[in-house]
Copies of this chain bind each other. A is one copy, B any other.
Amino acid sequence: MKDYELTLQVMLDRAVSQFGHKEIVSEEEDGTTHRYTYNEAADRMAQLANALDELGLEMGSRASVMAINHHRHYELYFGLSCSGRSIHMTNHMLPDEHIVEIVNEAEDEVVFVDPAFVETVENVADQFETVEHYVVLDDEVPETDLEPIQSYEELLDGHETDYEWPEIDEEREAGICYTSGTTGLPKGVAYTHRNIYLHTLTHSHIDVFKISENDAVMPVVPMYHVNGWGLPYTATLCGSKLVLPGPKTDSEQIAELIDREGVTITAAVPTVWREMASFYDEREDIELESLDRVLTGGSSPPEWLMEKFDKEIGAPIYQGYGMTEAAPNLVNTMTTTEVKEELDESGQYQQQMKPGLPAPGVQIRLRDQNGEEVPHDGESSGEIQARAPWLIDEYYNRPEATAESFTDDGWFKSGDVGTIDEYGYIEVVDRLDDIIKSGGEWISSIELENELMAHDAVEEATVISVEHEKWDERPVAYVVASADDVSGDELRAHLRERYPKWWMPDKIVFVEEIPKTTTGKFNKKVLREDFDEEYDGLPLEE
Protein backbone atom coordinates (compact mmCIF):
# COMPACT_ATOMS: atom_id res chain seq x y z
CA MET A 1 0.00 0.00 0.00
CA LYS A 2 1.30 3.40 -0.95
CA ASP A 3 1.24 5.64 2.09
CA TYR A 4 4.25 7.78 1.30
CA GLU A 5 3.74 10.36 -1.41
CA LEU A 6 6.66 11.46 -3.55
CA THR A 7 6.37 15.23 -3.17
CA LEU A 8 8.47 18.37 -3.08
CA GLN A 9 7.74 18.48 0.64
CA VAL A 10 10.01 15.46 1.06
CA MET A 11 12.84 17.31 -0.72
CA LEU A 12 12.38 20.43 1.35
CA ASP A 13 12.18 18.38 4.54
CA ARG A 14 15.49 16.70 3.71
CA ALA A 15 17.20 20.05 3.09
CA VAL A 16 15.92 21.45 6.37
CA SER A 17 16.40 18.45 8.64
CA GLN A 18 19.78 17.32 7.28
CA PHE A 19 21.32 20.37 5.66
CA GLY A 20 19.52 23.32 7.24
CA HIS A 21 22.79 25.20 7.75
CA LYS A 22 24.01 24.83 4.16
CA GLU A 23 24.21 27.98 2.08
CA ILE A 24 22.14 29.49 -0.71
CA VAL A 25 23.94 32.33 -2.47
CA SER A 26 22.00 34.67 -4.71
CA GLU A 27 23.29 37.49 -6.91
CA GLU A 28 20.93 40.46 -6.87
CA GLU A 29 19.99 42.94 -9.56
CA ASP A 30 21.67 45.78 -7.62
CA GLY A 31 25.05 44.06 -7.60
CA THR A 32 24.91 42.82 -4.01
CA THR A 33 25.15 39.19 -2.91
CA HIS A 34 22.41 37.67 -0.78
CA ARG A 35 23.41 34.77 1.46
CA TYR A 36 21.29 32.61 3.69
CA THR A 37 20.69 28.99 4.66
CA TYR A 38 18.15 26.34 3.71
CA ASN A 39 16.67 26.86 7.17
CA GLU A 40 16.17 30.56 6.53
CA ALA A 41 14.82 29.91 3.05
CA ALA A 42 12.32 27.42 4.50
CA ASP A 43 11.18 29.99 7.05
CA ARG A 44 10.43 32.41 4.24
CA MET A 45 8.66 29.71 2.22
CA ALA A 46 6.41 29.22 5.25
CA GLN A 47 5.81 32.98 5.39
CA LEU A 48 4.96 32.93 1.70
CA ALA A 49 2.49 30.07 2.17
CA ASN A 50 0.82 31.91 5.05
CA ALA A 51 0.64 35.08 2.95
CA LEU A 52 -0.91 33.18 0.03
CA ASP A 53 -3.52 31.74 2.38
CA GLU A 54 -4.36 35.29 3.41
CA LEU A 55 -4.57 36.35 -0.23
CA GLY A 56 -7.16 33.61 -0.64
CA LEU A 57 -5.15 31.51 -3.08
CA GLU A 58 -6.71 28.04 -2.92
CA MET A 59 -4.99 24.66 -3.20
CA GLY A 60 -4.64 23.90 -6.91
CA SER A 61 -4.52 27.51 -8.05
CA ARG A 62 -1.62 28.74 -10.14
CA ALA A 63 0.70 31.71 -9.96
CA SER A 64 2.85 33.02 -12.79
CA VAL A 65 6.47 33.77 -12.01
CA MET A 66 8.52 35.91 -14.39
CA ALA A 67 11.98 36.08 -12.90
CA ILE A 68 15.64 35.31 -13.30
CA ASN A 69 17.58 32.97 -11.00
CA HIS A 70 17.55 34.42 -7.50
CA HIS A 71 16.60 33.46 -3.96
CA ARG A 72 13.02 34.77 -4.13
CA HIS A 73 12.42 32.72 -7.26
CA TYR A 74 13.79 29.71 -5.39
CA GLU A 75 11.39 30.35 -2.50
CA LEU A 76 8.49 30.42 -4.95
CA TYR A 77 9.54 27.03 -6.37
CA PHE A 78 8.85 25.39 -3.03
CA GLY A 79 6.51 27.82 -1.28
CA LEU A 80 3.92 27.53 -4.05
CA SER A 81 4.22 23.79 -4.79
CA CYS A 82 4.55 22.56 -1.19
CA SER A 83 1.41 24.44 -0.19
CA GLY A 84 -0.54 22.67 -2.93
CA ARG A 85 -0.43 25.49 -5.48
CA SER A 86 1.28 25.32 -8.83
CA ILE A 87 4.09 27.50 -10.12
CA HIS A 88 3.74 28.64 -13.72
CA MET A 89 7.32 29.33 -14.75
CA THR A 90 6.72 31.98 -17.38
CA ASN A 91 9.29 32.91 -20.02
CA HIS A 92 9.19 36.72 -20.13
CA MET A 93 10.87 36.66 -23.54
CA LEU A 94 7.85 35.19 -25.28
CA PRO A 95 5.90 37.46 -27.64
CA ASP A 96 3.23 39.47 -25.79
CA GLU A 97 0.37 37.54 -27.32
CA HIS A 98 1.86 34.26 -26.12
CA ILE A 99 2.26 35.58 -22.58
CA VAL A 100 -1.39 36.65 -22.58
CA GLU A 101 -2.48 33.31 -23.98
CA ILE A 102 -0.61 31.13 -21.50
CA VAL A 103 -1.38 33.19 -18.40
CA ASN A 104 -5.06 33.04 -19.34
CA GLU A 105 -4.99 29.35 -20.20
CA ALA A 106 -3.20 28.51 -16.94
CA GLU A 107 -5.72 30.74 -15.12
CA ASP A 108 -2.89 32.29 -13.10
CA GLU A 109 -4.29 34.26 -10.16
CA VAL A 110 -1.10 35.96 -9.07
CA VAL A 111 1.79 37.26 -11.13
CA PHE A 112 5.18 37.42 -9.38
CA VAL A 113 7.47 39.57 -11.46
CA ASP A 114 11.03 40.90 -11.34
CA PRO A 115 11.28 44.72 -11.40
CA ALA A 116 13.02 44.39 -14.77
CA PHE A 117 9.97 42.74 -16.34
CA VAL A 118 7.25 44.93 -14.87
CA GLU A 119 7.02 46.82 -18.12
CA THR A 120 6.52 43.59 -20.05
CA VAL A 121 3.61 42.75 -17.78
CA GLU A 122 2.16 46.26 -17.95
CA ASN A 123 1.92 45.92 -21.74
CA VAL A 124 -0.42 42.96 -21.54
CA ALA A 125 -2.05 43.11 -18.11
CA ASP A 126 -5.32 44.46 -19.44
CA GLN A 127 -5.78 41.23 -21.38
CA PHE A 128 -5.24 38.96 -18.35
CA GLU A 129 -8.54 37.32 -17.44
CA THR A 130 -7.79 35.66 -14.10
CA VAL A 131 -4.96 37.61 -12.47
CA GLU A 132 -6.01 39.27 -9.22
CA HIS A 133 -2.68 40.21 -7.62
CA TYR A 134 0.71 41.42 -8.71
CA VAL A 135 3.80 40.95 -6.59
CA VAL A 136 7.13 42.60 -7.45
CA LEU A 137 10.11 40.46 -6.49
CA ASP A 138 11.87 43.19 -4.54
CA ASP A 139 11.73 45.23 -1.32
CA GLU A 140 9.70 47.98 -2.91
CA VAL A 141 7.16 48.53 -5.65
CA PRO A 142 8.37 50.61 -8.60
CA GLU A 143 6.14 53.15 -10.27
CA THR A 144 3.59 51.15 -12.24
CA ASP A 145 -0.02 51.01 -13.37
CA LEU A 146 -0.39 47.40 -12.24
CA GLU A 147 -2.81 46.87 -9.40
CA PRO A 148 -3.34 45.57 -6.82
CA ILE A 149 0.38 45.32 -6.38
CA GLN A 150 2.81 44.87 -3.50
CA SER A 151 6.42 43.96 -3.06
CA TYR A 152 7.43 40.41 -2.20
CA GLU A 153 8.92 41.59 1.07
CA GLU A 154 5.69 43.41 1.99
CA LEU A 155 3.80 40.22 1.17
CA LEU A 156 5.92 38.12 3.51
CA ASP A 157 6.28 40.71 6.25
CA GLY A 158 4.78 39.77 9.59
CA HIS A 159 3.76 36.24 8.65
CA GLU A 160 4.64 33.23 10.76
CA THR A 161 7.73 31.22 9.83
CA ASP A 162 5.85 28.03 10.61
CA TYR A 163 3.36 26.45 8.28
CA GLU A 164 1.46 23.21 8.43
CA TRP A 165 2.17 21.95 4.92
CA PRO A 166 -0.96 20.16 3.67
CA GLU A 167 -1.06 16.48 2.72
CA ILE A 168 -0.40 16.36 -0.98
CA ASP A 169 -1.04 13.55 -3.41
CA GLU A 170 1.99 12.87 -5.59
CA GLU A 171 -0.24 13.17 -8.65
CA ARG A 172 -1.01 16.80 -7.84
CA GLU A 173 0.41 19.40 -10.22
CA ALA A 174 3.50 21.10 -8.77
CA GLY A 175 4.36 23.33 -11.72
CA ILE A 176 3.65 24.11 -15.33
CA CYS A 177 5.92 25.23 -18.17
CA TYR A 178 4.97 26.16 -21.71
CA THR A 179 6.94 24.85 -24.66
CA SER A 180 7.14 26.86 -27.88
CA GLY A 181 7.05 24.93 -31.09
CA THR A 182 7.70 26.36 -34.52
CA THR A 183 3.98 26.55 -35.16
CA GLY A 184 1.02 27.72 -33.14
CA LEU A 185 0.81 28.76 -29.52
CA PRO A 186 2.98 27.37 -26.73
CA LYS A 187 1.70 24.11 -25.25
CA GLY A 188 1.36 23.59 -21.51
CA VAL A 189 3.45 20.92 -19.80
CA ALA A 190 2.21 20.28 -16.27
CA TYR A 191 4.49 18.39 -13.89
CA THR A 192 3.16 16.44 -10.96
CA HIS A 193 5.06 16.24 -7.68
CA ARG A 194 5.87 12.65 -8.61
CA ASN A 195 7.31 13.71 -11.98
CA ILE A 196 9.65 16.20 -10.38
CA TYR A 197 10.62 13.95 -7.49
CA LEU A 198 11.59 11.05 -9.75
CA HIS A 199 13.36 13.33 -12.24
CA THR A 200 15.34 14.86 -9.39
CA LEU A 201 16.45 11.49 -8.01
CA THR A 202 18.26 10.62 -11.23
CA HIS A 203 20.44 13.74 -10.96
CA SER A 204 22.28 12.16 -8.05
CA HIS A 205 22.78 8.90 -9.89
CA ILE A 206 26.51 8.42 -10.22
CA ASP A 207 26.18 7.64 -13.94
CA VAL A 208 23.99 10.69 -14.62
CA PHE A 209 24.86 14.05 -12.99
CA LYS A 210 26.23 12.59 -9.70
CA ILE A 211 25.08 15.61 -7.75
CA SER A 212 26.09 15.31 -4.10
CA GLU A 213 25.76 17.25 -0.90
CA ASN A 214 29.47 17.91 -1.40
CA ASP A 215 28.70 19.88 -4.56
CA ALA A 216 28.13 23.58 -5.03
CA VAL A 217 25.53 23.72 -7.80
CA MET A 218 25.02 26.77 -10.02
CA PRO A 219 22.21 26.67 -12.58
CA VAL A 220 23.01 29.32 -15.19
CA VAL A 221 20.19 27.97 -17.33
CA PRO A 222 17.16 30.11 -16.44
CA MET A 223 14.75 28.84 -13.79
CA TYR A 224 11.86 29.79 -16.10
CA HIS A 225 13.32 27.43 -18.71
CA VAL A 226 12.17 23.88 -17.83
CA ASN A 227 12.78 24.24 -14.06
CA GLY A 228 16.37 25.39 -14.52
CA TRP A 229 16.92 21.84 -15.81
CA GLY A 230 15.69 20.70 -12.41
CA LEU A 231 18.84 21.78 -10.57
CA PRO A 232 17.18 23.91 -7.86
CA TYR A 233 15.21 20.80 -6.87
CA THR A 234 18.30 18.60 -7.01
CA ALA A 235 20.38 20.90 -4.81
CA THR A 236 17.55 20.85 -2.25
CA LEU A 237 17.11 17.08 -2.12
CA CYS A 238 20.89 16.57 -1.97
CA GLY A 239 21.64 19.41 0.42
CA SER A 240 24.17 20.93 -1.99
CA LYS A 241 25.26 24.53 -1.70
CA LEU A 242 23.15 26.42 -4.24
CA VAL A 243 24.49 29.40 -6.18
CA LEU A 244 21.95 31.49 -8.10
CA PRO A 245 23.70 33.82 -10.53
CA GLY A 246 20.86 36.36 -10.83
CA PRO A 247 21.66 38.74 -13.69
CA LYS A 248 25.21 37.41 -14.03
CA THR A 249 25.02 35.20 -17.07
CA ASP A 250 27.97 36.12 -19.25
CA SER A 251 31.02 33.94 -19.10
CA GLU A 252 33.21 36.45 -17.28
CA GLN A 253 30.68 36.87 -14.47
CA ILE A 254 30.08 33.12 -14.34
CA ALA A 255 33.81 32.44 -14.11
CA GLU A 256 34.16 34.94 -11.27
CA LEU A 257 31.23 33.35 -9.43
CA ILE A 258 32.68 29.87 -9.85
CA ASP A 259 35.96 30.97 -8.31
CA ARG A 260 34.37 33.02 -5.55
CA GLU A 261 31.82 30.43 -4.45
CA GLY A 262 33.73 27.24 -5.19
CA VAL A 263 31.12 26.07 -7.69
CA THR A 264 31.68 22.42 -8.63
CA ILE A 265 28.92 21.89 -11.19
CA THR A 266 27.11 24.30 -13.46
CA ALA A 267 24.82 24.11 -16.45
CA ALA A 268 24.21 26.27 -19.52
CA VAL A 269 23.93 26.07 -23.31
CA PRO A 270 27.18 25.42 -25.27
CA THR A 271 27.60 29.09 -26.33
CA VAL A 272 28.41 29.99 -22.73
CA TRP A 273 31.19 27.42 -22.57
CA ARG A 274 32.60 28.42 -25.93
CA GLU A 275 32.93 31.98 -24.66
CA MET A 276 34.31 30.78 -21.36
CA ALA A 277 37.07 28.87 -23.12
CA SER A 278 38.54 31.94 -24.81
CA PHE A 279 37.94 34.03 -21.72
CA TYR A 280 39.85 31.48 -19.63
CA ASP A 281 42.87 31.91 -21.90
CA GLU A 282 42.80 35.70 -21.64
CA ARG A 283 42.38 36.26 -17.90
CA GLU A 284 45.14 34.91 -15.72
CA ASP A 285 43.29 35.46 -12.45
CA ILE A 286 40.50 33.08 -13.42
CA GLU A 287 41.26 29.60 -12.09
CA LEU A 288 38.07 27.49 -12.25
CA GLU A 289 39.86 25.27 -9.76
CA SER A 290 36.73 24.09 -7.98
CA LEU A 291 34.83 23.29 -11.17
CA ASP A 292 34.43 19.54 -11.53
CA ARG A 293 32.01 19.07 -14.43
CA VAL A 294 29.78 21.06 -16.74
CA LEU A 295 26.35 20.21 -18.08
CA THR A 296 25.14 21.39 -21.42
CA GLY A 297 22.39 20.63 -23.85
CA GLY A 298 20.67 21.72 -27.01
CA SER A 299 23.59 20.99 -29.33
CA SER A 300 26.87 19.09 -29.29
CA PRO A 301 29.94 20.96 -28.09
CA PRO A 302 32.83 20.62 -30.56
CA GLU A 303 35.69 18.24 -29.76
CA TRP A 304 38.27 20.99 -29.13
CA LEU A 305 35.97 22.47 -26.49
CA MET A 306 35.45 19.10 -24.81
CA GLU A 307 39.19 18.58 -24.74
CA LYS A 308 39.94 22.05 -23.41
CA PHE A 309 37.49 21.74 -20.55
CA ASP A 310 38.62 18.24 -19.76
CA LYS A 311 42.38 18.75 -19.89
CA GLU A 312 43.05 22.39 -19.16
CA ILE A 313 40.18 23.30 -16.88
CA GLY A 314 39.72 19.84 -15.40
CA ALA A 315 35.95 19.89 -15.75
CA PRO A 316 34.61 17.66 -18.53
CA ILE A 317 31.53 18.84 -20.40
CA TYR A 318 28.60 16.46 -20.60
CA GLN A 319 25.79 16.97 -23.04
CA GLY A 320 22.33 15.93 -21.97
CA TYR A 321 19.30 15.24 -24.12
CA GLY A 322 15.80 16.07 -23.10
CA MET A 323 12.86 18.36 -23.65
CA THR A 324 10.31 20.41 -21.74
CA GLU A 325 7.96 17.42 -21.78
CA ALA A 326 10.57 15.43 -19.83
CA ALA A 327 11.33 17.99 -17.11
CA PRO A 328 13.82 17.96 -19.06
CA ASN A 329 16.45 15.25 -18.72
CA LEU A 330 16.23 11.86 -20.41
CA VAL A 331 19.73 11.02 -21.54
CA ASN A 332 23.06 11.87 -19.96
CA THR A 333 26.09 9.73 -19.32
CA MET A 334 29.34 10.20 -17.59
CA THR A 335 31.59 8.00 -19.76
CA THR A 336 31.11 4.27 -19.35
CA THR A 337 33.42 1.32 -18.84
CA GLU A 338 33.60 -0.06 -22.36
CA VAL A 339 34.02 3.36 -23.91
CA LYS A 340 36.98 3.98 -21.62
CA GLU A 341 38.49 0.57 -22.25
CA GLU A 342 37.96 0.22 -25.96
CA LEU A 343 38.41 3.68 -27.47
CA ASP A 344 41.36 6.01 -27.77
CA GLU A 345 41.17 9.55 -26.42
CA SER A 346 39.60 11.08 -29.51
CA GLY A 347 37.11 8.24 -29.70
CA GLN A 348 36.20 8.86 -26.07
CA TYR A 349 35.58 12.55 -26.77
CA GLN A 350 33.48 11.61 -29.79
CA GLN A 351 31.39 9.43 -27.50
CA GLN A 352 31.23 12.10 -24.83
CA MET A 353 29.87 14.57 -27.39
CA LYS A 354 26.79 12.36 -27.63
CA PRO A 355 24.19 12.58 -24.88
CA GLY A 356 24.82 8.90 -24.16
CA LEU A 357 22.68 6.40 -22.28
CA PRO A 358 19.13 6.86 -21.00
CA ALA A 359 18.91 7.62 -17.28
CA PRO A 360 17.48 4.88 -15.05
CA GLY A 361 13.77 4.57 -15.74
CA VAL A 362 14.00 6.10 -19.21
CA GLN A 363 13.16 3.91 -22.17
CA ILE A 364 14.20 5.07 -25.65
CA ARG A 365 13.43 3.51 -29.01
CA LEU A 366 14.03 4.55 -32.63
CA ARG A 367 11.28 4.25 -35.22
CA ASP A 368 11.45 4.80 -38.97
CA GLN A 369 8.75 6.42 -41.13
CA ASN A 370 6.72 3.22 -41.12
CA GLY A 371 6.91 2.77 -37.38
CA GLU A 372 9.44 -0.04 -37.72
CA GLU A 373 12.36 -0.56 -35.39
CA VAL A 374 15.68 0.91 -36.50
CA PRO A 375 18.94 -0.99 -35.93
CA HIS A 376 21.32 0.25 -33.23
CA ASP A 377 24.36 0.53 -35.47
CA GLY A 378 25.27 4.18 -34.97
CA GLU A 379 24.31 4.85 -38.61
CA SER A 380 20.64 4.09 -39.14
CA SER A 381 18.45 6.89 -37.89
CA GLY A 382 14.88 7.07 -36.71
CA GLU A 383 12.57 9.17 -34.59
CA ILE A 384 13.52 9.10 -30.92
CA GLN A 385 10.53 7.90 -28.91
CA ALA A 386 10.60 7.85 -25.15
CA ARG A 387 8.94 6.74 -21.94
CA ALA A 388 9.95 7.86 -18.46
CA PRO A 389 8.31 8.14 -15.04
CA TRP A 390 8.59 11.92 -15.32
CA LEU A 391 7.51 12.34 -18.93
CA ILE A 392 4.09 13.92 -19.25
CA ASP A 393 1.38 11.99 -21.03
CA GLU A 394 -0.62 14.93 -22.27
CA TYR A 395 -0.39 18.61 -23.10
CA TYR A 396 -2.50 20.75 -20.84
CA ASN A 397 -5.88 21.34 -22.45
CA ARG A 398 -4.68 20.22 -25.89
CA PRO A 399 -6.19 16.87 -26.85
CA GLU A 400 -5.18 17.27 -30.50
CA ALA A 401 -1.55 18.05 -29.82
CA THR A 402 -1.54 15.19 -27.33
CA ALA A 403 -2.93 12.75 -29.88
CA GLU A 404 -0.25 13.82 -32.38
CA SER A 405 2.61 13.53 -29.92
CA PHE A 406 2.05 10.11 -28.40
CA THR A 407 1.93 6.69 -30.03
CA ASP A 408 -0.98 4.35 -29.42
CA ASP A 409 1.19 2.34 -27.05
CA GLY A 410 2.02 5.40 -24.95
CA TRP A 411 5.46 6.50 -26.19
CA PHE A 412 6.25 10.19 -26.60
CA LYS A 413 7.17 11.11 -30.17
CA SER A 414 10.03 13.54 -29.63
CA GLY A 415 10.19 14.78 -33.20
CA ASP A 416 13.95 14.34 -32.95
CA VAL A 417 15.84 12.03 -35.23
CA GLY A 418 18.63 10.05 -33.68
CA THR A 419 20.93 7.10 -33.85
CA ILE A 420 21.97 4.55 -31.22
CA ASP A 421 25.46 3.11 -31.47
CA GLU A 422 26.99 -0.18 -30.34
CA TYR A 423 27.57 1.25 -26.84
CA GLY A 424 23.88 2.16 -26.58
CA TYR A 425 24.77 5.87 -26.87
CA ILE A 426 22.07 8.04 -28.32
CA GLU A 427 22.92 10.86 -30.68
CA VAL A 428 20.47 13.44 -31.99
CA VAL A 429 21.05 14.04 -35.68
CA ASP A 430 18.11 16.25 -36.62
CA ARG A 431 14.57 17.38 -36.00
CA LEU A 432 12.04 15.19 -37.78
CA ASP A 433 10.55 18.37 -39.26
CA ASP A 434 13.93 19.36 -40.63
CA ILE A 435 15.20 16.04 -41.89
CA ILE A 436 15.20 15.70 -45.64
CA LYS A 437 13.46 12.59 -46.88
CA SER A 438 15.01 12.00 -50.25
CA GLY A 439 14.13 8.92 -52.26
CA GLY A 440 13.19 7.01 -49.13
CA GLU A 441 16.46 7.84 -47.37
CA TRP A 442 17.10 10.48 -44.72
CA ILE A 443 19.52 13.37 -45.04
CA SER A 444 20.42 15.21 -41.83
CA SER A 445 20.08 18.96 -42.24
CA ILE A 446 22.03 19.52 -39.02
CA GLU A 447 25.03 17.57 -40.21
CA LEU A 448 25.13 19.52 -43.47
CA GLU A 449 24.76 22.80 -41.60
CA ASN A 450 27.58 22.00 -39.19
CA GLU A 451 29.85 20.96 -42.03
CA LEU A 452 29.05 24.12 -44.03
CA MET A 453 29.73 26.28 -40.99
CA ALA A 454 33.05 24.51 -40.49
CA HIS A 455 34.17 26.09 -43.83
CA ASP A 456 36.27 29.22 -43.35
CA ALA A 457 34.23 31.30 -45.80
CA VAL A 458 30.88 30.56 -44.14
CA GLU A 459 29.52 32.61 -41.28
CA GLU A 460 26.13 30.97 -40.94
CA ALA A 461 24.34 28.23 -42.82
CA THR A 462 21.10 26.37 -42.65
CA VAL A 463 19.67 23.60 -44.76
CA ILE A 464 15.99 23.17 -45.50
CA SER A 465 13.95 20.52 -47.21
CA VAL A 466 12.07 21.41 -50.40
CA GLU A 467 9.57 19.36 -52.36
CA HIS A 468 10.86 17.43 -55.34
CA GLU A 469 8.85 15.57 -57.95
CA LYS A 470 11.10 12.55 -58.24
CA TRP A 471 12.80 12.31 -54.85
CA ASP A 472 9.94 13.72 -52.70
CA GLU A 473 12.31 16.07 -50.89
CA ARG A 474 15.74 17.54 -51.56
CA PRO A 475 18.11 19.73 -49.49
CA VAL A 476 18.60 23.42 -50.20
CA ALA A 477 21.20 25.43 -48.28
CA TYR A 478 21.00 29.07 -47.22
CA VAL A 479 24.42 30.51 -46.56
CA VAL A 480 25.73 33.77 -45.12
CA ALA A 481 29.22 33.99 -46.58
CA SER A 482 32.02 35.76 -44.74
CA ALA A 483 34.12 35.92 -47.91
CA ASP A 484 32.81 37.34 -51.18
CA ASP A 485 34.34 34.91 -53.53
CA VAL A 486 33.10 31.56 -52.22
CA SER A 487 30.98 29.60 -54.70
CA GLY A 488 28.33 26.92 -54.34
CA ASP A 489 30.60 24.45 -56.10
CA GLU A 490 33.38 25.14 -53.67
CA LEU A 491 31.07 24.47 -50.72
CA ARG A 492 29.74 21.30 -52.36
CA ALA A 493 33.30 20.10 -52.82
CA HIS A 494 33.83 20.73 -49.12
CA LEU A 495 30.71 18.75 -48.19
CA ARG A 496 31.71 15.91 -50.52
CA GLU A 497 34.74 15.22 -48.37
CA ARG A 498 32.43 13.78 -45.72
CA TYR A 499 29.04 13.12 -47.30
CA PRO A 500 27.78 11.15 -50.32
CA LYS A 501 26.78 12.77 -53.57
CA TRP A 502 23.06 12.38 -53.01
CA TRP A 503 23.36 14.47 -49.80
CA MET A 504 24.58 17.50 -51.79
CA PRO A 505 22.18 20.48 -51.67
CA ASP A 506 20.40 20.98 -54.99
CA LYS A 507 20.73 24.69 -54.53
CA ILE A 508 22.89 26.91 -52.37
CA VAL A 509 21.30 30.34 -51.83
CA PHE A 510 23.62 33.11 -50.64
CA VAL A 511 21.83 35.56 -48.34
CA GLU A 512 22.68 38.56 -46.14
CA GLU A 513 21.18 36.98 -43.06
CA ILE A 514 19.13 33.99 -41.98
CA PRO A 515 15.81 34.67 -40.20
CA LYS A 516 15.68 33.40 -36.61
CA THR A 517 12.99 32.47 -34.07
CA THR A 518 12.60 34.22 -30.70
CA THR A 519 14.76 31.56 -29.08
CA GLY A 520 17.52 32.19 -31.61
CA LYS A 521 17.06 29.13 -33.79
CA PHE A 522 17.08 29.27 -37.59
CA ASN A 523 13.50 29.88 -38.74
CA LYS A 524 13.25 27.18 -41.36
CA LYS A 525 9.51 27.65 -41.77
CA VAL A 526 9.99 31.18 -43.10
CA LEU A 527 12.78 29.99 -45.39
CA ARG A 528 10.60 27.24 -46.82
CA GLU A 529 7.84 29.74 -47.57
CA ASP A 530 10.38 32.11 -49.16
CA PHE A 531 11.76 29.35 -51.26
CA ASP A 532 8.35 28.27 -52.53
CA GLU A 533 7.56 31.85 -53.52
CA GLU A 534 10.90 32.59 -55.12
CA TYR A 535 11.74 29.37 -56.88
CA ASP A 536 8.36 27.79 -57.55
CA GLY A 537 8.58 25.26 -60.33
CA LEU A 538 12.33 25.47 -60.41
CA PRO A 539 13.84 22.27 -61.69
CA LEU A 540 16.15 21.74 -58.80
CA GLU A 541 19.39 22.12 -60.60
CA GLU A 542 21.49 25.21 -60.62
User: Residues of A at under 8 Å CB distance from B?
Assistant: 1-4, 6, 10, 13-14, 17-19, 171, 192, 194, 198, 201-202, 204-207, 210-214, 237-238, 336-337, 357-358, 360-361, 363, 387-389, 391, 393-394, 410, 424
Contacts and interface: CB of A to CB of B under 8 A. Distances in A.
**What does DSSP make chain A's interface, helix, strand, loop or mixed?**
loop
A405 to B, nearest CB: 14
Given A14-B361, A19-B424, 13 more contacts: A1-B393, A3-B393, A4-B361, A4-B391, A6-B361, A14-B360, A18-B358, A18-B424, A201-B201, A201-B361, A204-B207, A214-B336, A214-B337
15 contacts: A2-B192, A4-B387, A4-B388, A4-B389, A13-B363, A14-B363, A201-B202, A201-B360, A201-B361, A204-B204, A205-B205, A206-B212, A210-B210, A213-B337, A238-B360
Contacts of A361: 4, 6, 10, 14, 201
A205 B391 CA distance: 21
Nearest to A336: B213
Nearest to A363: B13
A238 B1 contact: no
Contacts of A18: 357-358, 424
A395 to B, nearest CB: 12
The 4 A-B residue pairs with the shortest CB-CB distance, nearest first, are A206-B210, A204-B205, A206-B212, A4-B389
Nearest to A357: B18
Contacts of A198: 6
Given A387-B4, A389-B4, A212 B207 contact: yes
A171 B358 contact: no
Contacts of A192: 1-2
A389 to B, nearest CB: 5
Contacts of A389: 4, 6
A358 B13 CA distance: 12
A410 B2 CA distance: 12
Contacts of A3: 393, 410
A7 to B, nearest CB: 10
Contacts of A393: 1, 3
Contacts of A424: 17-19
Nearest to A362: B14
Nearest to A335: B214
A361 B389 CA distance: 17
Contacts of A360: 14, 201, 204, 237-238
A207 B238 contact: yes
A323 B117 CA distance: 53
A203 to B, nearest CB: 10
Contacts of A391: 4
Nearest to A18: B424
B394 A1 contact: yes
A363 B201 contact: no
A363 B210 contact: no
Contacts of A14: 358, 360-361, 363
Contacts of A6: 198, 361, 389
Nearest to A333: B213
